[in-house]
């Protein structure tokens, strides 16, 4: 998946859940750790902050989030 693909937070969560399930990683979204509509997404031993799941995620933020989680965009 190239970084120029746009998606909202819910779509990204779905892709990450499928990615993690295939690798036996645990996924948890903790909304109480975020401010407002933000939450913290844990995948395995890593985490990133997820903004409002209804809003679109821009390419640079998507790249940062995947780097935080140690996920190659081509694996999604």
Distance, CA of 31 to CA of 3 (rounded, Å): 25
pLDDT at 14 over 60: yes
**Residue 66 domain flag:** yes
How many domains does the chain divide into?
A: 1
Distance, CA of 71 to CA of 76 (rounded, Å): 8
**Residue 44 domain flag:** yes
**Residue 2 domain flag:** no
**Residue 1 domain flag:** no
- Tell me the CATH number at 42: 3.30.920
Domain interval for residue 49? 7-75
Q: pLDDT tens across 22-75, in order? A: 999 999 999 886 667 888 999 999 999 998 888 899 888 999 999 999 999 899
């Amino acid at each position: 998946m190239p970084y120029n693909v746009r998606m909202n937070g819910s779509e990204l969560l779905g892709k990450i859940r499928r990615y993690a399930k295939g690798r036996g990683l645990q996924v948890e979204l903790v909304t109480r750790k975020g401010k407002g509509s933000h939450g913290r997404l844990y995948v395995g031993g890593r985490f990133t902050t997820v903004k409002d799941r209804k809003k679109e995620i821009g390419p640079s933020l998507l790249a940062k989030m995947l780097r935080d989680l140690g996920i190659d965009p081509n694996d999604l």
